[in-house]
């Protein structure tokens, strides 16, 4: 396990797809656990599958299980919570997720501490003197009526601080969303985001339906949120991802966001502080 990061900083290890290991003080969070191996199929519902093209940088058995405080799960899709994670994660581990995913996790899979958060609802975790308040944010997995075919999704705001309630660092996880007006509410309510984690890839389903941000939409979200730093994830890992990371980097640079972008390959770590300047 990593040593405790410097005070007031968050250390993020990118495992692959949308899976991150996040450390702040004595707190450790896991996001969207996806530990399928190259060649295995992720189930996306309605008989749709997608083959994984990459290996996770960390096997599920290599996680610091005893140190995990919670899983932040954006939604129930096979590339965000898979059968490997289901078998190996402790059934007593808290999950912070959508009400839909909470019901399934508790009723079908036995994760009895899954908490369903409605949009703008929060849940606070403490370990020692370290605190994180997790708030569910707007997300929409597809445009228009098509979103009813996909599981509900949430973004997440992670506000890190200490037991006194003082917040020192704010992190935004977009979840699998496309651009829509609800994301502008995030900018209005959360004007000072130190690190934004953007789910990209331009996931394209049969018929050409795009259900996650492509390069242009990812840059649009940067225009709206304007975080101090941004970490792109959820690209190039599955066959349904049609918008490569290189396209996003080029578009973000064209719009003047080059200085915001953090490059972090699977297996690597980045450390971001609350005093980061724009």
Percent of the chain whose pLDDT exceeds 70:
98
Q: Tens of pLDDT along 164-180?
A: 989 999 999 999 999 99
Q: Tens of pLDDT along 89-137?
A: 999 999 999 999 999 999 999 999 999 999 999 999 999 999 999 999 9
**Half-sphere exposure at residue 242, Cβ-oriented, CA atoms within 13 angstroms:** 11
pLDDT confidence of residue 277 = 43
pTM: 0.96
| Rounded (5°) CA angle 42-45-51 | 25
Q: Could you report how far apart the first and last alpha carbons of the chain are, in Å?
A: 30
pLDDT confidence of residue 241 = 96
- φ, ψ dihedrals at 166, nearest 5°: -70, 125
**Residue 151, by phi and psi: left (phi above 0), alpha (psi -120 to 50) or beta?**
beta
Q: Which residue has the tokens 């699998």?
A: 176
| Rounded (5°) CA angle 198-179-96 | 55
User: Confidence band (pLDDT; 50, 70, 90) for 149?
Assistant: confident
Q: Tens of pLDDT along 186-229?
A: 999 999 999 999 999 999 988 899 999 999 999 999 999 999 99
């Amino acid at each position: 396990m990593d040593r405790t990061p410097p005070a007031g900083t968050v250390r993020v290890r990118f495992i692959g797809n949308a899976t991150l290991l996040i450390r702040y003080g004595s707190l450790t969070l896991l996001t969207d656990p996806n530990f399928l191996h190259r060649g295995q199929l992720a189930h996306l519902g309605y008989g749709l599958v997608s083959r994984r093209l990459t290996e996770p940088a960390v096997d599920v058995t290599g996680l610091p299980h005893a140190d995990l405080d919670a899983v932040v799960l954006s939604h129930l899709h096979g590339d965000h919570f898979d059968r490997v994670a289901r078998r190996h994660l402790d059934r007593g581990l808290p999950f912070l997720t959508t009400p839909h995913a909470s019901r399934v996790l508790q009723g079908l899979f036995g994760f009895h501490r899954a908490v369903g958060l409605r949009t703008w609802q929060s849940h606070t975790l403490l370990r020692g003197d370290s605190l994180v308040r997790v708030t569910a944010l707007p997300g929409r997995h597809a445009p228009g009526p098509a979103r009813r075919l996909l599981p509900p999704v949430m973004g997440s705001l992670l506000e890190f601080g200490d037991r006194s309630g003082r917040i020192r660092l704010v992190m935004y996880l977009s979840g699998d969303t496309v651009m829509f007006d609800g994301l502008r509410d995030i900018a209005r309510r959360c004007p000072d985001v130190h690190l934004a984690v953007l789910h990209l890839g331009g996931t394209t389903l049969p018929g050409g339906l795009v259900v996650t941000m492509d390069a242009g939409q990812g840059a649009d979200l940067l225009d709206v949120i304007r975080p101090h730093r941004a970490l792109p994830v959820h690209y190039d890992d599955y066959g349904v991802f049609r918008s490569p990371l290189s396209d996003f980097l080029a578009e973000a640079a064209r719009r003047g966001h080059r200085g915001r972008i953090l490059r972090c390959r699977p297996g690597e770590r980045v450390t971001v502080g609350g005093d980061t300047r724009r």
